[in-house]
Amino acid sequence: MEHAIADLGVQVEKKRDDLDEFFDEFINSKPIFNDKSVLQSNYNPDKIQHREDYIKDIAKILAPALRKERPSNLFIYGKTGTGKTTCINHVLNKISNIAHTREIPLEVISINCKLKKVADTEYRIILEILKQLGREMPSTGISTNELYKELYDAIEQKKRTVLLVLDEIDSLIKKAGDEILYNLTRINPELKQAEISIVGITNDLTVMDTVDARVKSSLNEEELVFLPYNAVQIQDILGDRAIMAFHSEVLDEEVIPRCSAYAAREHGDARRALELLRFAGEIAEREGSDKVLPGHIDTADKKTERNRIIDVIKSQPKQFQLVNYAIIKTSMKEKHNLVTSKKTQIIEPTTTGAVYDYYNKVAKELGIVTLSLRRISDIIIELEVLGLINFKIVSKGRYGRTRFISVGLPKTLYKEVLDILREDLSIS
DNA sequence: CGAGATTCATGTGAAGTATACCTTTAGGCTTAA
DNA sequence: AAGCCTAAAGGTATACTTCACATGAATCTCGTA
């Protein structure tokens, strides 16, 4: 007995030593970051590299606002991480500063349509615009028409030029259709003392094909396409930010080239490159390493994709998670190899019906309300929009028509995602 | 044997329902004169 | 009488359901070569 206690004592003491050591090490190790915020995606740099021409273009288009004239509507296309938002913000900041100091009446409203809580329906967008105009409105209880009237009124009362920036407008169009755009473009003729210009930003070039031709032509008064950065440019950007973000001599010289190589591999996504660099730094910090090594970039690369997917999955409502779970489960099949008689798991597309059956079964077991097939069909489409799954509609002739649904995850994540879903849904 | 009809499984649009919020209104109660 | 609180009534958006019809190629049917 005594012996045991003594043993325990030793163990505790030893553990404390370990911890102490760890903390000592942590404190003594040179800090990696100087200013991490520089690498955050919402950071607005003073100078934007390799985008000077675009910035000038945007400035030219929006400049009339400073003369109390209505700038043309502007549409900006470009893949993620090509600097669209950064450039626009940069120009807008400048413009509103000038407007402010010279007392030119100008109002800038900027909305990111992708932030889900903010806005994913027509109603909520208008609500958000009104909020930024300084008019809080109830989240329900008023008809959309009423809301539009309020919007006219609010803008009219401002008696100034209003620049309305809709970032990631594609996700809005996908979810709520083009009616908002149509209505917004038609506000102008009704305004007497104010004017509104719309700046739309989108990653998805194809979405605009689906909108009404009239809307399209009136929005595309001016159009700008952002081309992706190449590896060299990304390297420049990273280098620039790294100087501010990290303490000197912390980065292994291989790190930045490798980081930009990873990002360029996709399509020149600068945001991703920065994220990767920051994450690698954090990993190095956590490991207590006093240098960021290329290996850290590799780890970060693997983990960022994973984190993104897991975030998306975790933030889904229960029903969506269940459907997702059913899709993954039904797309995994066991195959007996006749020669070796071993079981191997293979992954092949499922169908709506199979998913629905499985969904029903599990939902009943869990005591969750089961939704109709119609609704599940819509949920499947929404999961596709989120990029978690892919599907195509296939007609199997005599055997009907269905979606062939496949899971859009890297194979290595299947197990983990399943575990997460199981946990969230408390499936044993 | 081939053209046209049939069939299956589910896609898809429209309309209806339940629910969650929100404002307005009508009492009902309190309070101050 | 005026003020204030509360509950009921009347709106709306959203998520979901129900109903009805649309799809499209494998399969079937049947007339014809």
Final residue before a domain boundary, out of A226, A248, A277? A226
- Nearest-angstrom CA–CA distance, A2 and A18: 24
- Looking at the domain assignment, is residue A338 inside a domain? yes
The model's pTM is 0.74
Region A31-46: mean pLDDT is: 81
The amino acid at residue A61 is: I
A12-21, A35-44, A62-71: range with lowest mean pLDDT: A12-21
Lowest mean pLDDT among A113-122, A171-180, A193-202, A370-379: A113-122
Mean pLDDT of A111-131: 77
The pLDDT tens digits of the residues spanning A7-35 come to 554 555 556 677 887 777 777 766 778 88
Over residues A378-394, mean pLDDT: 93
Nearest DNA or RNA nucleotide to A317 (CA to C1'): C15
Residue A298 lies in a domain: yes
Torsion of the alpha carbons at A175, A178, A181 and A186, rounded to the nearest 10: -150
- Distance between CA atoms of residues A350 and A353, nearest Å: 8
Alpha carbon distance A382, A386 (integer Å): 6
Shared-domain flag, residues A296 and A326: no
What was the pLDDT predicted at A179? 74
Mean pLDDT check: name the lowest of A86-100, A155-169, A399-413: A155-169
Confidence check: pLDDT of A127 > 90: no
Shared domain for A177 and A240, answered yes or no, is no
Return the CATH number at A9: 1.10.8.60
Domain range for residue A137? 52-226
**A7 close to A220: Cβ distance less than 8 angstroms:** no
The CATH number covering residue A352 comes to 1.10.10.10
Report the percentage of chain A scoring pLDDT > 90: 27
Q: Where are the alpha helices (DSSP H) in A288-351?
A: 294-314, 318-331
- Tell whether A74 and A209 lie within a shared domain: yes
A374 touches strand B (CB under 7 A): yes
Q: Of A184, A166, A163, give the one whose Cα is nearest residue A64.
A: A163
pLDDT tens profile A345-358: 888 999 999 999 99
Is 80 exceeded by the pLDDT of residue A6?
no
Tell me the CB-side half-sphere exposure of residue A234, using CA atoms within 13 A.
30
Closest residue to B12 (CA to C1') is: A374
Q: From residue A422, how far is each of A205, A303, A345, A412 by CA, in Å?
A: 36, 21, 19, 17
> CB of residue A399 closer than 7 A to nucleic acid strand B?
yes
Q: Which of A8-22, A105-119, A204-218, A302-316 has the highest mean pLDDT?
A: A302-316
- A175: nearest nucleotide, CA–C1' criterion: C14
Count helices and strands (H / E) in chain A.
16, 10
Is A15 found in the same domain as A94?
no
Q: Are residues A306 and A244 in the same domain?
A: yes
In angstroms, rounded to a whole number, what is the distance separating the alpha carbons of residues A91 and A301? 32
Q: Is the pLDDT of residue A318 over 90?
A: yes
What's the pLDDT at A338? 77
H/E run at residue A74: strand A74-78
**A235 and A169, same structural domain?**
no
Same domain, A269 and A339: no
**Last residue of a domain, which of A313, A335, A359?**
A313
Are A73 and A131 found together in one domain? yes
- Strand C nucleotides, any atom under 7 Å to a protein CB: 10-20, 22-28
Average pLDDT over residues A139-149: 79
Domain containing A185 — which CATH number?
A: 3.40.50.300
- Average pLDDT on A175-200 reads 81
Spacing of A77 CA from B30 C1' in Å: 64
The total number of structural domains that make up chain A: 3
Q: Strand B closer than 7 Å to the CB of A381? A: yes
CA A398 to C1' B1, in angstroms, rounded, equals 20
Read off the pLDDT of each residue in A366-372 and give the average, rounded to a whole number: 93
